[in-house]
Amino acid sequence: MIEGGFLTPQQIVAELDKYIVGQHDAKRNVAIALRNRWRRMHVKGDMRNEIIPNNILMIGATGVGKTEIARRLAKIADAPFVKVEASKFTEVGYVGRDVESMVRDLVEQSVNMVKAKKKEEVKEKANQAVEEIILDALIPPLKVQAAKASGFTGGDEAPASDAELNERTRNLFREKIKNGELEERKIEINMKGSSGSNVGMIGAGMMDEASMMNLQEMLSGMMPKKSKKRKVTVAEARRILFEEEVSKLIDMDEVKEEAIRRAEDAGIIFIDEIDKIASSHGKGGGPDVSREGVQRDLLPIVEGSTVNTKHGVIKTDHVLFVAAGAFHVSKPSDLIPELQGRFPIRVELTNLTKDDFIHILKDPRNALTKQYQALFEAEDVHIEFGEDAIEEIANTAFAINAEVENIGARRLHTVMSRLLNEFLFDVPDKIGANARIIINAQMVKERLGNLVKNRDLSEYIL
């Protein structure tokens, strides 16, 4: 994983270019925002706390790359990232998710990331501990006595002591385990059971989600943990015991502290469909009241506030917020002025052209043509897309977007699926291994011709 903090804005754009076609203005702005996170962390003195992130509002139709830019940005930065849809939130007091849940999700994501990193650090020590537990299960003391009684001495003339014999027997079995000779051997291990199911509390309706989680965690921690014996194969035992040993070696308090710090300094929250909560000014009552309520609940979190989570308290002052919306019906100016002010960087993403579709099909590392080639290669079938075929696919997708609803690059998924589903169904029954399929423009026209001719395309729209 590339440490995005050490990448220059130009290097960040180059990384995004590997997966996303076009939208250079949006890429430049998010690259600057990401680099600014690193710059802030290297500012000395009190000024560091005064520098707030420039949140970004991306405006563009569906399928032009808004979500993909945010997602790839988080991967480049190796930062906690959460995507939420603004339309899923409701004003406090109404049924639905409260806006603070996105911050709790961010902390959860950060904890998982830090835990994975710590897990990698203690992996070797945990594997050694697991090996010793498996050896204890394979060679209990009675077996050592039996081996001694039968005259097993490990090759020495004189009878071995209990300790020597035990060590030699363990080394012999250790080699067998490393060579994978005992993977299917059944052994009995002690497993930690849960401390009981989640405790329900009557009259807890007024408590917020974080308080409920903390209380349940505290109560479950007070209950004694039961252990149970289970007979499993050595391979299964290794997997089960590894998780238990890792949890013993990792200091969860340290993980939580680092995760909170990481979420505060590097966390990115992507708020999609923000245009859905924009209210039409001048109209009283109705759904606009609730939409504005969501905006007002969102405002303190974007401004910077303190949120309780089950892992601890997090401040959102330096979390980077990237909001996006198509704004077909509403306009960014329909958002309440305070919220508009919290997204000072505005980026308009352009609609995709036919040439963009051609590049999307060919150039990115995860291009659709490459994905389908990988799927067919899993069945030992080779598929090739001619240049003329790719151009025809792009033309078809562009024409359908123009005829019906413009869903951007997502239309390519519809078209490619329609084009290749018959082949995917016939492999491997009718099309066997080592077969070669060549897709040309003529084939694309034959298979997709009806899609363009038929104006009522509802049957084919996903």
> Is the confidence at residue 118, as pLDDT, over 70?
yes
For residues 343-371, average pLDDT: 91
Query: What was the pLDDT predicted at 280?
Result: 62
For residues 375-391, average pLDDT: 94
More confident residue, 399 or 218: 399
Confidence tier at 1 by pLDDT (50, 70, 90):
very low
Burial of 35 per CB tally in 10 Å (0-12, 13-18, 19+): buried
Q: Which amino acid is at 128?
A: Q
* Boundary residue ending a domain (348, 380, 410): 348
Examine residue 461 and state whether it is found in any structural domain, yes or no: no
DSSP annotation of 444? H
Burial of 343 per CB tally in 10 Å (0-12, 13-18, 19+): buried
Same domain, 67 and 103: yes
- Its domain, for residue 147, covers 123-249
For residues 367-391, average pLDDT: 93
Q: Output the CA angle 353-63-364, nearest 5 degrees.
A: 70
* Boundary residue ending a domain (332, 348, 364): 348
Examine residue 106 and state whether it is found in any structural domain, yes or no: yes
Same domain, 244 and 128: yes
Chain segment 295-311, per-residue pLDDT in tens = 988 999 999 999 999 99
The residues, ordered by sequence, that sit 6+ positions from 38 with a Cβ below 8 Å of its Cβ are 4, 5, 6
CB atoms within 10 A of CB 293: 18
Largest CA distance in the chain: 100
- Integer angstrom CA distances of residue 352 from 12, 398, 404: 22, 9, 15
Chain segment 13-53, per-residue pLDDT in tens = 999 999 999 899 999 999 998 899 889 988 998 898 899 89
Average pLDDT, the chain: 81
Distance, in Å, from the CA atom of 239 to the CA atom of 236, rounded to the nearest integer, reads 5
Examine residue 459 and state whether it is found in any structural domain, yes or no: no
For residues 187-191, average pLDDT: 77
Query: What was the pLDDT predicted at 2?
Result: 42
Sign of CA dihedral 321, 325, 331, 335: negative
Helix (H, G, I), strand (E, B) or coil at 202: coil
Distance, in Å, from the CA atom of 272 to the CA atom of 89, rounded to the nearest integer, reads 11
Same domain, 340 and 358: no
Chain segment 224-250, per-residue pLDDT in tens = 666 778 788 888 888 888 888 888 888
Task: Pull the structure tokens for residue 91.
Answer: 């004003």
pTM for the model: 0.76
Chain segment 409-449, per-residue pLDDT in tens = 888 998 999 999 999 999 998 988 889 999 999 999 988 87
Confidence tier at 371 by pLDDT (50, 70, 90):
very high
Query: What was the pLDDT predicted at 140?
Result: 67
Query: What was the pLDDT predicted at 79?
Result: 87
| Low-confidence winner among 80-89, 252-261, 314-323 (lowest mean pLDDT) | 80-89
DSSP annotation of 19? T
User: Phi then psi for 253, rounded to 5 degrees?
Assistant: -65, -40
Chain segment 313-355, per-residue pLDDT in tens = 999 999 999 999 988 888 899 999 999 999 999 999 998 889 9
CATH number of the CATH domain containing 19: 3.40.50.300
> Is the confidence at residue 108, as pLDDT, over 90?
yes
The residues, ordered by sequence, that sit 6+ positions from 179 with a Cβ below 8 Å of its Cβ are none
More confident residue, 210 or 451: 451
Chain segment 66-84, per-residue pLDDT in tens = 888 988 888 888 889 999 9
Query: What was the pLDDT predicted at 130?
Result: 82
**Cis peptide, bond prior to residue 344, ω within 30 of zero:** no
User: Phi then psi for 431, rounded to 5 degrees?
Assistant: -105, 110
Confidence tier at 214 by pLDDT (50, 70, 90):
low
Examine residue 456 and state whether it is found in any structural domain, yes or no: no
Query: What was the pLDDT predicted at 224?
Result: 60
* Boundary residue ending a domain (323, 348, 373): 348
- Integer angstrom CA distances of residue 302 from 54, 104, 291: 11, 14, 16
* Helix orientation angle between 441-453 and 410-426, rounded to the nearest 10 degrees: 120
Confidence tier at 206 by pLDDT (50, 70, 90):
very low
Q: How many domains does the chain have?
A: 3
In sequence order, what E strands does 34-178 have? 56-59, 81-85
Same domain, 240 and 283: no
Query: What was the pLDDT predicted at 171?
Result: 79
User: Phi then psi for 349, rounded to 5 degrees?
Assistant: -90, 135
In order, the DSSP letters of 353-381 are -HHHHHHHHHSSTT-HHHHHHHHHHTTT-
Examine residue 182 and state whether it is found in any structural domain, yes or no: yes
Query: What was the pLDDT predicted at 205?
Result: 47
Same domain, 215 and 318: no
CATH number of the CATH domain containing 397: 1.10.8.60
